[in-house]
Amino acid sequence: MSYCINPHCSHRENPDGATHCQSCGTSLLVDDRYQILRPLRPPNPAAMTDVYEVKDWGTNQLNWGEIKVLKIFKFTHNPKLVRLFRREARVLMWLRHPGIPKVEPDGYFTVTLPRNKIVHGLVMEKIEGENLEQWLSENGAISTDRALDWLQQLTELLHVIHQHNLGHRDLKPSNLILRPNGELALVDFGTVAEFGADSQTRVGTSGYAAPEQLEGKATRQSDFFALGRTFVHLLSGLSPMEFPETDKGELQWRDRVADLERPLADAIDELMAPDWKARAQHTKIILQRLEQIRAQLKSSQERPGSGRSLLWKAALPWVGIAGVVGVGWRVLSPAVQLYWNHAIAPNISQQFNELTVTNFQDKNFEKALLFGQLALNFDRDNSYASYNLAMVYEEKEDYRRATEYYERAIADGEPRTQLRATNNLARLQIWRAGDTQGAIARLSDALERARHYEKIDPQTLSDLYKNLGWAYFQENRNREAERQLREAIALDDRNIAAYCLLAQTLERTPDDDRGGNAPPPLLPWKQCARDSDLVINPETRVWQMMARQRLDEPHAASRSLPTPSTSP
């Protein structure tokens, strides 16, 4: 069956094989690539959005026919709501985390319906699993151990969002998906806002939204309030609306939770403090508090004489025996072991590393992962294998392991590998963690070391300057950003990301600060938008989409452009 996208259609279900709706004539292939299979919630004429399951018949042959989610925005007469929907699209294109739905650069579009009505569309990754509101109704309240695990996962997700100066503003069980692998995902970014900008809009869900947020004064701590209220719901099985509050606005909930551990309850109450200033000031403080709670609970469970302590003592002799057996072959055969370590194993490792590269280039990431791990099994000091394995993990969006292997490549590698790994690690610091200060320190140190190295290729140096410029741009240090980005372009005029960042920097910088002869931002946008046979990182694909939007603006074609220059 194919489903019609037109919300005004009288009969939206169509048989397989139909190309246009038999009722209203609307094309059943949305944006010339998406086939709507079914609504994921009952369509509601009064709702701003409808959500559908779709099949993607786009140009990516590896994922042809992939199941995704299409969100349709219908209230196009309200510019403020349209702006919020577009911001949701931009944020999801920018953020990259396994716990956040992924949107590709071409995932946002508009569709013209009969009678020239327009709706906005946003296609995103379909996250398999069940939302926690549904899960709770089927499984009941969660345990302390599960609460600590989930609380850590969600705090880490908020850390990623907050590091980009964004607030989610609608955290609640129905917006949390439990994946089959036990990991949580956060969905529905329709109310996301940049702090200090539209965070003053009154949005949120009663019972979860913080008092200051309902007054149009949202802060980072507003998300913490919703986090605490969410865990009251998960631990008790009851909505926060069902609990009374004190005159000070404190929720009275503890007596409705069986076997509630006091350290956890105290932490949740602090998250829900009526005054935002009394809540944790940063996600890192919450994560530290969770570690302290785990240590407290572990200490109480492992007192001297407890069953777990006795079990460890009983197992200790066997651990020692296993250690002796494990090193026995090395003791008995030192010559063979030496020959293996220095002649045979490195050669095998390098062959597996070459297979890693080949499969990575062919986008066979599972095979690339297997061969990369085998390469390091044979030679743990193979820095090339560490670097390539990190790139595979980054492509698979396992950023924790990507960081681990980039760090190994830096520790063990020759100069060029060290610089390339440093470069990518700094990218992750800026893009995912928002740690611009750490990235600036890392990149500055790498550029200083590069002065003493021989035969470092210009492309590697260009990327180092580009990422340093990116970090300065994120810090609103526009002059430093422009200087580093022009240096990157001078070293490699094919560095598309450097042009993209330079365009954004010039848009932000007043003409008087740049001098009267500075080129207009439109020129770097043109360079940013051009096609390239080089590897394009996810963030650059988003910037290229921004560039094409800028160039499509009505005034773009009439601008008089100077001759391109790559000099700093």
Structure tokens that stand for 171 in this block: 């955290």
Residue 362 and residue 423 share a domain: yes
Residue 432 and residue 343 share a domain: yes
Q: Is residue 527 part of a domain?
A: yes
Residue 271 and residue 387 share a domain: no
Residue 422 and residue 314 share a domain: no
Q: How many domains does the chain have?
A: 4
Please give the model's pTM, rounded to 2 decimal places: 0.60
Domain boundary among the residues 83, 100, 125 is at 125
Q: Is residue 563 part of a domain?
A: no
Rounded CA-CA distance 290/302 in Å is 18
CB contact set of 331 (below 8 Å; sequence gap of 6+):
none
CATH number at residue 417: 1.25.40.10
Minimal CA–CA distance to 234: which of 252, 253, 250? 253
Q: Is residue 568 part of a domain?
A: no
Report which residue type is found at 63: N
Q: Is residue 202 part of a domain?
A: yes
Q: Is residue 566 part of a domain?
A: no
For every one of its 568 residues, what pLDDT tens digit does the chain have, with 9 covering 90 and above?
899 999 889 899 999 889 999 999 999 999 989 999 999 888 888 888 899 999 998 866 566 788 999 999 988 888 888 888 888 888 888 887 889 999 888 889 999 998 888 999 999 999 999 999 999 999 999 999 999 999 999 999 999 888 878 888 899 999 999 998 889 999 988 888 877 655 456 677 889 999 998 888 889 999 999 999 999 999 999 999 999 999 988 999 999 998 899 999 999 999 999 999 999 989 999 999 999 999 888 877 655 554 444 444 444 443 444 344 444 444 445 665 665 566 677 888 888 888 988 888 888 888 889 998 998 888 888 888 899 999 999 888 888 899 999 999 988 788 888 899 999 999 888 877 778 888 999 999 999 888 888 777 888 899 999 999 999 988 888 899 999 999 999 999 889 999 999 998 888 775 544 444 444 567 888 888 887 666 567 778 778 877 877 777 554 444 333 333 333 3
Structure tokens that stand for 154 in this block: 């969600």
Residue 85 and residue 109 share a domain: yes
Residue 107 and residue 25 share a domain: yes
Minimal CA–CA distance to 90: which of 555, 552, 549, 554? 549
Domain boundary among the residues 329, 345, 379 is at 329
Residue 361 and residue 320 share a domain: no
Q: Is residue 561 part of a domain?
A: no
**Helix H or strand E encompassing 322:** helix 307-332
Residues 275/221, Cβ–Cβ less than 8 Å: no
Minimal CA–CA distance to 465: which of 481, 441, 449? 481
Residue 528 and residue 397 share a domain: yes
Residue 78 and residue 134 share a domain: no
**Helix H or strand E encompassing 137:** helix 132-139
**Helix H or strand E encompassing 63:** none
CATH number at residue 158: 1.10.510.10
Residue 320 and residue 291 share a domain: no
Residue 288 and residue 257 share a domain: yes
Residue 259 and residue 137 share a domain: yes
Q: Is residue 311 part of a domain?
A: yes
CATH number at residue 36: 3.30.200.20
Q: Is residue 559 part of a domain?
A: no
Which residue segment(s) compose the domain that 538 sits in? 335-552
